[in-house]
Amino acid sequence: MKAIVIGTGYVGLVTGACLAEVGTQVVCVDVNAEKINNLQKGILPIYEPGLEEIVTRNYNNGRLAFSTNLAEVIPGADIAFIAVGTPPGEDGSADLQYVLQVAKEIGTHMTDYLVVVTKSTVPVGTAVKVNREIKQAMLNRNALIDYDVASNPEFLKEGAAVQDFLKPDRIVVGVNTDRAKEMLERLYHPFLLNGRPIIFMDIASAEMTKYAANAMLATKISFINDIANLCELVGADVNKVRKGIGSDARIGNAFIYPGIGYGGSCFPKDVKALVQTGKEYGHGLRILEAVEAVNNDQKKVLFGKINRHFDGMLKGKTFAVWGLSFKPATDDMREASSLVLIESLLEAGANVQVFDPVAMHEAKKTLGESVKWCNDMYAAAEGADAVMLVTEWNEFRLPDWTRVKQLLKAPVVFDGRNIYDNVYLEKSGFTCYSIGVSHPA
């Protein structure tokens, strides 16, 4: 089978590499020539555990190729995946310009029957628009070639993208012909050998499934954060409450960890886009509006604690920030909570010293020289008035607290992800703040 994947970002590159890994002949296409040149030299544009190894292996054995030229690589392809970005437009709805541009290019260049699959996250009704673009582009060149459109939303998580793609909880596919269904069944067969399900449905339902999934996950996070904030006021400990409710099988333990809000390239934009879809259809999604509002406030919670601890006198103080990426095991800085915190600290006149294991290069694009870039977590703590844990990378989980205490001006820790043992820290002479636990612990 031959597949082309258009858009070589987090989703496109992982999709292309993993399909090649099981034997599909894949070409990954992107308009960004620098990205493609680098990939041809073995330089990856993103950090994703395990990705470099399978990209290199499949590039070297000839199953994975990279190109900027869709016209050149489309002949002979069985399936074309659209995996370009769908950023939020001004009103929060998904901006489909890249998806539709690709659809038009496909219609302009396709030569044989093709299944055109949208993997980007797109609102219900997008497949109809994709279909229209392809048809129009073919009409413009008096071509009449058979094709099908399909929807195959992607559920991978950054930081575990390769594993998620190779061992998916499920694969969701929206189709409206048997021919497209058979093609996608065949393509995904290698991933389903361990009984993992492929769920076929109509295209509108597949498009909706992706938004409903992300909206549910974002809701769980905002729910526990809201409860956490109330726990602080009433003198309860959200860490205990979380375990207490998570042990109920109907609720479950996953995704109810309190923190400083969700970020990344998906939850914020997908919640916004779904709210916007609701508005378009005259159906206000009140729960999701609240989910977004709670999350926006949650990103400011740690700053509020810092401000209160220092009685609003942050000017000239120095703070250590451990972790920048929106979650561990990725270099993705899109909508990261760290940016909101750092911006508030800088606005208050504080100095900020940061360390992240892989996201510093990416973060520099936004933060420039406004912060001090450090080589490790201890260098960030040196001379600081307090340390704040923002992204729960594994290497931050058990610091040498004796060393940290010696490095800090005062032993104060703000734990934005509730990974530290407050009781131990307080016993060791630290003042420790976390989320959803009244202070002192």
Q: 397 among the known binding-site residues?
A: no
Which one of the spans 31-39, 299-307, 367-375, 397-405 is the region binding ligand NAD (CB under 6 A)?
A: 31-39
Strand order in the sheet with 351-355: 372-373, 351-355, 318-322, 386-389, 412-415, 431-433
Q: 165 among the known binding-site residues?
A: no
Binding track over 54-83 against ligand NAD, x by CB under 6 A: -----------------------------x
The dihedral sign for the CA sequence 187, 188, 191, 193? negative
Q: Which of 4, 5, 8, 63 binds ligand NAD (CB under 6 A)?
A: 8
The dihedral sign for the CA sequence 65, 70, 74, 79? positive
The secondary structure of 323-346 as a DSSP string is --SSSTT----TT-HHHHHHHHHH
Q: Encoding tokens for residue 246?
A: 């998570």
Per DSSP, 370 falls in state: S
Distance CA 389, CA 384 (A): 13
Nearest distance from residue 13's CB to ligand NAD, in Å? 8
CA within 13 Å, CB half, 223: 16
Which one of the spans 98-106, 178-186, 236-244, 374-382 is the region binding ligand NAD (CB under 6 A)?
A: 98-106
Q: Which of 10, 267, 414, 433 binds ligand NAD (CB under 6 A)?
A: 10
Nearest to 339 by CA among 371, 292, 315, 311: 371
Q: Is 266 a catalytic residue?
A: yes
Q: Is there binding between residue 32 and ligand NAD (CB under 6 A)? A: yes
Nearer to ligand NAD, 64 or 84 (CB): 84
Nearest distance from residue 338's CB to ligand NAD, in Å? 18
Q: 181 among the known binding-site residues?
A: no
Nearest to 377 by CA among 319, 419, 322: 322
Position of minimal CB gap to ligand NAD: 9
Q: Is there binding between residue 399 and ligand NAD (CB under 6 A)? A: no
Q: 372 among the known binding-site residues?
A: no
Contact criterion met (CB below 8 Å) for 246 and 256: yes
Nearest distance from residue 154's CB to ligand NAD, in Å? 4
Q: Which of 3, 17, 30, 295 binds ligand NAD (CB under 6 A)?
A: 30
| Buried/exposed 253-267: b ≥16 CB within 10 Å, e otherwise | eeebbbbbbbbbbbb
Q: 399 among the known binding-site residues?
A: no
> What is the separation of C-alpha 277 from the centre of its chain, rounded to a whole number of angstroms?
21
Contact criterion met (CB below 8 Å) for 424 and 412: no
Nearest distance from residue 388's CB to ligand NAD, in Å? 25
Which one of the spans 3-11, 167-175, 299-307, 357-365 is the region binding ligand NAD (CB under 6 A)?
A: 3-11
3-class SS shares of the chain: helix, strand, coil, % to 5? 45, 15, 40
Nearer to ligand NAD, 156 or 320 (CB): 156
Nearer to ligand NAD, 84 or 387 (CB): 84
Q: Which of 16, 85, 123, 168 binds ligand NAD (CB under 6 A)?
A: 85
User: Looking at 18, 231, 266, 374, which residue is catalytic?
Assistant: 266
> What is the separation of C-alpha 423 from the centre of its chain, rounded to a whole number of angstroms?
33
Q: 155 among the known binding-site residues?
A: yes
The set of residues, in sequence order, having a beta carbon less than 8 Å from that of 38 and lying 6+ positions away, is 44, 45
Nearest distance from residue 266's CB to ligand NAD, in Å? 5
Q: Is there binding between residue 120 and ligand NAD (CB under 6 A)? A: yes
- Give the CA distances from residue 256 to residues 230, 235, 273, 360, in Å, rounded to whole numbers and listed in that order: 15, 19, 23, 28
Q: Which of 121, 209, 225, 353 binds ligand NAD (CB under 6 A)?
A: 121
Strand order in the sheet with 147-151: 64-67, 25-29, 2-6, 79-82, 114-118, 147-151, 171-174, 198-201
Nearest distance from residue 117's CB to ligand NAD, in Å? 12
Distance CA 342, CA 416 (A): 13
Q: Which of 4, 11, 187, 339 binds ligand NAD (CB under 6 A)?
A: 11
Which one of the spans 2-10, 137-145, 175-183, 277-285 is the region binding ligand NAD (CB under 6 A)?
A: 2-10
Which residues ranging from 140 to 179 are in contact with ligand NAD (CB under 6 A)? 154, 156, 158
Q: Which of 266, 291, 384, 435 binds ligand NAD (CB under 6 A)?
A: 266
Three-state DSSP state, 40: helix
Q: Is there binding between residue 118 and ligand NAD (CB under 6 A)? A: no
**Residues placed in the known binding site for NAD(+):** 30, 35, 86, 121, 158, 269, 334
User: Which residues form the catalytic set?
Assistant: 266
The site for ligand NAD (CB under 6 A) is made up of 6-12, 29-32, 35, 83-86, 98, 101-102, 120-121, 154, 156, 158, 265-266
**Residues placed in the known binding site for substrate:** 155-158, 210, 255-259, 263, 327
